[in-house]
Amino acid sequence: MQAIQGKRVVPFLKREPVLTLAAVCALLSMLPVPPDRGYAAYVDLRVLCLLFCLMLVVAGTEDCGVFAVLAQRLLAGRKRFRLLALILVLLPFFSSMLITNDVSLITFVPFTILVLGLIGRTRERIYLIVLQTVAANLGSMAMPVGNPQNLFLCSRFQIPMRDFFLTLLPLTLVSLAGLTAAALCTSGDPIQVEFRDVQRLEKGGQLRVMAGLFALCLLSVFRVLHYGVLTAVVIAAGLAVNRQLFRRVDYGLLATFFCFFVFSGNLGRIGAVRDWLTGLLEGHTALTAALASQVVSNVPAAVLLAGFTGDWRGLLVGTNVGGLGTPIASLASLISFRAYLRSEGSRPGRYLGVFTLVNLVGLALLGLCAWAM
């Protein structure tokens, strides 16, 4: 029996390392602060509901083949290789603004591996996948729905949308320029891209429902529609249209948020820890958030530090720019790495070397821009 349980536990720990860390932190924080009525104030139910709704809607949209059709139509035909590289990099950059960096990489990295294999250009595989990973992590910062930490911080501090865009738009434009230049550094020889299986849009009715639900999600993010109403509508629509979509929601991410809510709330009630973190963040919020992201990833860093500072700009900049750096700075980066490892002839050491170099260059460039701002 113990052997069977061990076989189940180990894969779970590998699959959900951040959730495991969050759960351990939450449990340890309960020792000095035993559960009481104050725990109810820790959890931001609005963030959890919005994340759930967005994940279900994106899963329903992807199920209709939208992203595969878009990619094929942009890539098919005869073109210069550097143009193909630019399209492959910009697809996750722009799509991550609406469907999150995780979903963008899950969709487009395997597609890139397929395309490069079809045209015999596998030697550019590492460079382009690394650029796609950076593109997804940076493009997602442009919108509140692009990544979970933006959604959380917007909800926690009730950030006006005008201020949100003014804070992150300059960094987004610098990122776009840098990624474009990096993609265009590839060769300019002509190539022909042809797909054996032509993708087509499916489930038109479901797609229309998901488009409507996504519009409602945006209204809720902008506080026009109450999140409770949105959640009820999304659940009802999901049950009516396709119940299988509920299986594709990342409940591990929701549980991770819940655990870090508990951990952060308990730390805030320990005087010495609260004073230390508050002092650490004073005047150095962005830098502290970026450094914390390198160790625990940017989403937990945002949840943890938000309770100890009112500097939402520093947290926004630090956790978004801090998504560059180590492979765990943004957990979406691990999605690309795993997809690459499954491809034929993968070279993990070389991949991590290129990944580290590109991320450090990007981190330095955006760090200088953020400092200048």
Question: Rounded distance, CA 19 to CA 226, Å?
Answer: 28
Backbone φ and ψ for 193, nearest 5 degrees, come out as -110, 120
Location of structure tokens 């560059």:
324
**Residue 114, pLDDT score:** 86
Q: Which residue has the higher pLDDT, 72 or 167?
A: 167
**Residue 168, pLDDT score:** 95
Q: Which residue has the higher pLDDT, 275 or 7?
A: 275
User: How many other β-carbons are positioned within 10 Å of the β-carbon of residue 176?
Assistant: 17
Give the total residue count for the chain. 373
pLDDT at 366 over 70: yes
Q: What are the tens digits of pLDDT across the range 8-43?
A: 666 666 667 778 888 898 899 999 999 998 888 888
Q: Which residue has the higher pLDDT, 184 or 250?
A: 184
Question: Rounded distance, CA 254 to CA 47, Å?
Answer: 9
Question: Rounded distance, CA 87 to CA 24, Å?
Answer: 42
Q: What are the tens digits of pLDDT across the range 324-348?
A: 998 888 878 888 988 898 888 889 8
pTM for this prediction: 0.83
Closest residue by Cα to residue 217 from 43, 46, 103, 332: 46
Question: Rounded distance, CA 101 to CA 330, Å?
Answer: 9
Tell me what the mean pLDDT of segment 41-46 comes to: 85
Question: Rounded distance, CA 224 to CA 154, Å?
Answer: 14
Where does the pLDDT of residue 271 fall: very low under 50, low under 70, confident under 90, or very high at 90 and above?
Answer: confident
Let me know: does 209 contact 237? Beta carbons within 8 Å.
Answer: yes
**Residue 7, pLDDT score:** 57
Q: What are the tens digits of pLDDT across the range 241-252?
A: 999 999 988 888
Tell me what the mean pLDDT of segment 66-93 comes to: 87
| Residues in contact with 370: Cβ distance below 8 Å, sequence separation at least 6, in sequence order | 171, 286, 317, 321
Determine which of 2-16, 93-107, 146-160 has the lowest per-residue pLDDT on average.
2-16
Closest residue by Cα to residue 296 from 312, 276, 270, 318: 318
Q: What are the tens digits of pLDDT across the range 190-240?
A: 888 887 777 788 888 999 999 999 999 989 988 899 999 999 999 999 999
**Residue 12, pLDDT score:** 62
- Strand (E) or helix (H) holding 78: strand 77-80
The four Cα atoms 13, 18, 19, 24 give a dihedral, to 10 degrees, of 90
SS3 content of the chain, % helix, strand, coil (to 5): 75, 0, 20
- What one-letter code names the amino acid at 81? F
Q: What is the percent of the chain where pLDDT is above 70?
A: 96
What is the dihedral sign for C-alpha 25, 28, 31, 34?
positive
Local structure of 190: helix, strand or coil: strand
β-strand partners of 191: 79
Quickly list H helices, 76-223: 81-118, 125-139, 148-157, 161-183, 204-221
Tell me what the mean pLDDT of segment 111-117 comes to: 88
Q: Mean pLDDT of all residues in the chain?
A: 88
